[in-house]
Amino acid sequence: MKPLKLALIGFGSAGRAFAKMLLAKQNELSAVYGRAVIVTAIVTATRGTLIDAHGIDLEKACREAEEKGHFDERADGRLF
């Protein structure tokens, strides 16, 4: 199955809601469109930037943004 790679610009309330929707609907999207949706970058002005060509852990990114207000500084692929 060929992946569909996405980059998210911004990760405020709407960006996190979209990420959670992707997580909730990943099986349905895969079944209907025959493609896995993978977020490979999240770019923000205040929370930092995450880049991973193999896919970002969206659950972890949402949790960090909500609990800490930013991404883990030690995370692989984190840019300042």
pLDDT of residue 51: 92
pTM recorded for the entire structure: 0.85
Average pLDDT, the chain: 89
Look at residue 77 and tell me whether its pLDDT is greater than 70: no
Look at residue 79 and tell me whether its pLDDT is greater than 70: no
Which residue, among 33, 54, 43, 39, has the nearest Cα to 5 in the 3D structure?
39
Contacts of 41 (CB under 8 A, 6+ apart): 7, 8, 49, 50, 51, 52, 56
pLDDT of residue 75: 62
pLDDT of residue 45: 87
Look at residue 27 and tell me whether its pLDDT is greater than 60: yes
Supply 39's token pair: 């977020």
Question: 44 near 10, Cβ under 8 Å?
Answer: yes
Supply 51's token pair: 């880049």
